[in-house]
Amino acid sequence: MSESIYSKPLPRGDHYNGEFYGYCKQHELRFQRCSDCGTWRHMPRESCRNCGSFDWTWERSNGTGRIFSWTVIHRALHPGFNDELPYAAVVVELDEGVRVVSHVIDLDIADLVVGLPVEVVFEDVTPETTLHKFRPVSSASR
């Protein structure tokens, strides 16, 4: 497989999804945050589940969190992932409290640990699309 051709499915670029990935393209991880009660949320939606407010802004996450959970995929549901099997789909809980499904790079799946500190990294997979991924926070930087 050529390095220059990205063969995996790409996120849809519309509505809130497009805004989220638009910030990723700028290498910023942002989530919706309620303007009334301050609750962060993800996935994006119209109103706050805590207070019901429809007022919110995209706020920048500090990009650090911990591994919350994961599942290991042994049979790819899309041929673009065949070369990476087995791989882990990881749920990361950011310091702001939101949880996102992503990938952890620079870590063997056998070394995944609940609570492991991770930080966001951005991967420009096509000229138009940047994906958020995570890597272990090195002990030297904590």
Interacting residues with Zn ion (CB under 5 A): 34, 36-37, 39, 48, 50-51, 53
Min. distance of Cβ 139 from Zn ion in angstroms? 36
Nearer to Zn ion among residue 57 and residue 82 (C-beta): 57
Please report which helix (H) or strand (E) contains residue 130, including its range.
strand 130-136
CA distance 74 to 15: 32
Give the distance from CA 24 to its chain's centroid. Answer: 9
Nearer to Zn ion among residue 57 and residue 126 (C-beta): 57
Min. distance of Cβ 91 from Zn ion in angstroms? 23
Nearer to Zn ion among residue 51 and residue 113 (C-beta): 51
Min. distance of Cβ 102 from Zn ion in angstroms? 25
What DSSP line would sit under 58-80, residue for residue? EEE---EEEEEEEEEESS-SSGG
